[in-house]
């Protein structure tokens, strides 16, 4: 045997081998490296705006953070309500209800016509609270009707088709509804009537006063804008943001109670878990699916009206961006996960409101940021964050 002993590997050779393997891995999949580079650039931009530059104060102030946080919670609540509609339909049918944004838009339109009728009849001036309730009920009713029509004539015929067929049909339905509303009501944006809903005079005795200062009826929950000083911070607060967040929370809690604590909700969960087994156990799957679309319509219609109350405008195309962002929130939290949809919506709203200013970006680039988040989620965590954590715990 003339086997020669292997030559010892020198540190230089180890470095060359390590660099060679790293280069091959980068060539095979450069996305992680690119993502880390983008992340480091964003951290640099964030620190540049958060830290003072010499004698100059930081360009991003705590007051700005608090204002944007409140707005982000309100905006995130809208996304969470939309994300719940996406995630409920997906959990049962495994399809993306892409036309859900148009259900949102239809609710906002119905609310506009109801509120305009209340303003013309004088009801809005005499009883603004009842007018707001009627507006909300109108938006929810029309959204439920449109959602049920979509379930019956759009999704049910392709229920057993491949997912790509359902997605194409959903996109087609979205475009049809958009164009139908544009032809019926015009493509120009319509402005919501101004609502002055004064409330809680015992908590805010110095707000909502008339010209004499003798009659003070409290804070304006819809159209009010107030400059206040809180813990040394000078803030401009809009009560509508708190109203939207509270209303969305109430709707989501009602949905949770319905799904988790009622017999109809247990049937929905059974169909979502395994439709074939649920049918064998006597559950009417068609009725359960109809209920899911109706629940999604309730959330989308309410979200559309609440969104219009603080954005003040509605158009046939107003549902596209919120719809896509609601889908992004659902995927961020793990589509099919109800808690993930809520957390994903709130997180997305906060990120959209705060991050562009922290990075020194134009506010008009916030949509680019959201779509970038969607791309990153699809590339690196297509199952979402919350859903993967839940799956690990179950396993």
pLDDT tens digits, 35-77 = 667 667 667 766 666 666 666 666 667 778 888 888 899 999 9
Residue 250 belongs to a domain with what CATH number? 1.10.3470
Q: What is the pLDDT of residue 389?
A: 40
Q: What is the pLDDT of residue 55?
A: 63
Q: What is the pLDDT of residue 260?
A: 85
Query: Confidence band (pLDDT; 50, 70, 90) for 368?
Result: confident
Q: Which residues contact 197 (CB under 8 A, 6 or more apart)?
A: 128, 129, 132, 220, 221, 222, 223
Asked if the structure places residue 128 within a domain, the reply is yes
Q: What is the pLDDT of residue 388?
A: 45
Asked if the structure places residue 179 within a domain, the reply is yes
Asked if the structure places residue 164 within a domain, the reply is yes
Asked if the structure places residue 148 within a domain, the reply is yes
Asked if the structure places residue 131 within a domain, the reply is yes
**Phi and psi dihedrals of 56, rounded to 5?**
-85, 135
Asked if the structure places residue 34 within a domain, the reply is no
Kindly state the average pLDDT of the residues 344-369. Answer: 82
Strands 198-199 and 313-314: what pairing?
A: unpaired
Query: Confidence band (pLDDT; 50, 70, 90) for 213?
Result: low
CA neighbor of 310 nearest in space, from 240, 381, 234: 240
Asked if the structure places residue 283 within a domain, the reply is yes
What whole-number percentage of the chain has pLDDT above 90?
Answer: 38
Least confident of 100-109, 154-163, 208-217, 219-228: 208-217
Query: Confidence band (pLDDT; 50, 70, 90) for 3?
Result: low
44 to each of 36, 53, 63, 196, 339, how far by Cα in Å? 12, 13, 22, 44, 33
Tell whether the model's pLDDT for residue 301 goes beyond 90: yes
Q: What is the pLDDT of residue 198?
A: 86
Partner residues linked to 191 by β-bridges: 313
Q: Which residues contact 183 (CB under 8 A, 6 or more apart)?
A: none
Kindly state the average pLDDT of the residues 217-231. Answer: 82
Query: b/e for 238-252, b at 16 or more Cβ within 10 A?
Result: bbbbebbbebbeebb
123 to each of 49, 109, 118, 251, 373, how far by Cα in Å? 49, 19, 5, 26, 44
Asked if the structure places residue 25 within a domain, the reply is no
Decide: 143 and 181 in contact? Cβ < 8 Å: no
Tell whether the model's pLDDT for residue 269 goes beyond 50: yes
Tell whether the model's pLDDT for residue 266 goes beyond 80: yes
Q: How far apart are the first and last CA of the chain?
A: 54
User: What domain count does the chain have?
Assistant: 1
Q: What is the pLDDT of residue 49?
A: 66
Kindly state the average pLDDT of the residues 5-19. Answer: 64
Which residues form the domain of 229? 72-205+212-394
CA neighbor of 207 nearest in space, from 219, 193, 222: 219
Hey, how many other C-beta atoms are within 10 angstroms of the C-beta on 344? 30
Tell whether the model's pLDDT for residue 234 goes beyond 60: yes
Q: Which residues contact 230 (CB under 8 A, 6 or more apart)?
A: none
Decide: 312 and 275 in contact? Cβ < 8 Å: no
């Amino acid at each position: 045997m003339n086997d020669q002993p292997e030559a010892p590997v020198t540190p230089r050779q180890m470095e060359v081998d390590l660099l060679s393997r790293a280069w091959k891995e980068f060539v095979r999949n450069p996305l992680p490296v690119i993502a880390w580079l983008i992340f480091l650039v964003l951290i640099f931009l964030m620190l540049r705006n958060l830290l003072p530059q010499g004698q100059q104060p930081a360009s991003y102030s705590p007051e700005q953070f608090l204002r944007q946080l409140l707005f982000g919670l309100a905006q995130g609540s809208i996304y969470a309500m939309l994300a719940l509609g996406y995630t409920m339909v997906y959990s049962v049918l495994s399809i993306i209800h892409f036309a859900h944004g148009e259900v949102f838009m239809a609710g906002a339109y119905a609310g506009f016509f109801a509120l305009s009728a209340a303003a013309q009849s004088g009801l809005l001036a005499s009883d603004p609270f009842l007018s707001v309730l009627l507006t909300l009920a109108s938006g929810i009713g029309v959204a439920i009707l449109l959602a049920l029509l979509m379930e019956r004539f759009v999704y049910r015929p392709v229920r057993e088709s491949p997912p790509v067929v359902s997605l194409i049909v959903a996109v087609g339905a979205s475009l049809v509804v958009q164009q139908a509303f544009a032809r019926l009501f015009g493509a120009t944006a319509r402005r919501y009537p101004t609502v002055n809903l004064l409330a809680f005079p015992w908590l805010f005795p110095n707000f909502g006063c008339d010209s004499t200062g003798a009659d003070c009826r409290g804070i304006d929950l819809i159209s009010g804008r107030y400059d206040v000083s809180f813990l040394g911070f000078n803030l401009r607060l809009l009560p509508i943001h708190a109203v939207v967040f509270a209303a969305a929370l109430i709707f989501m809690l009602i949905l949770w109670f319905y799904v988790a604590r009622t017999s109809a909700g247990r049937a929905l969960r059974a169909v979502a878990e395994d439709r074939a087994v649920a049918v064998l156990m006597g559950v009417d799957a068609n009725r359960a699916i109809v209920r899911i679309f109706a629940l999604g319509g309730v959330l989308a219609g309410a979200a559309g009206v609440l969104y219009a109350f603080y954005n003040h405008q509605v158009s046939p195309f107003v549902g596209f961006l919120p719809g896509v962002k609601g889908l992004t929130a659902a995927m961020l939290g793990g589509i099919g996960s109800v808690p993930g949809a809520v957390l994903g919506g709130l997180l997305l709203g906060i990120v959209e409101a705060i991050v562009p200013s922290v990075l020194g970006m134009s506010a008009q680039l916030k949509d680019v940021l959201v779509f970038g988040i969607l791309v990153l989620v699809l590339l690196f965590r297509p199952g979402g964050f919350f859903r993967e954590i839940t799956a690990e715990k179950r396993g």
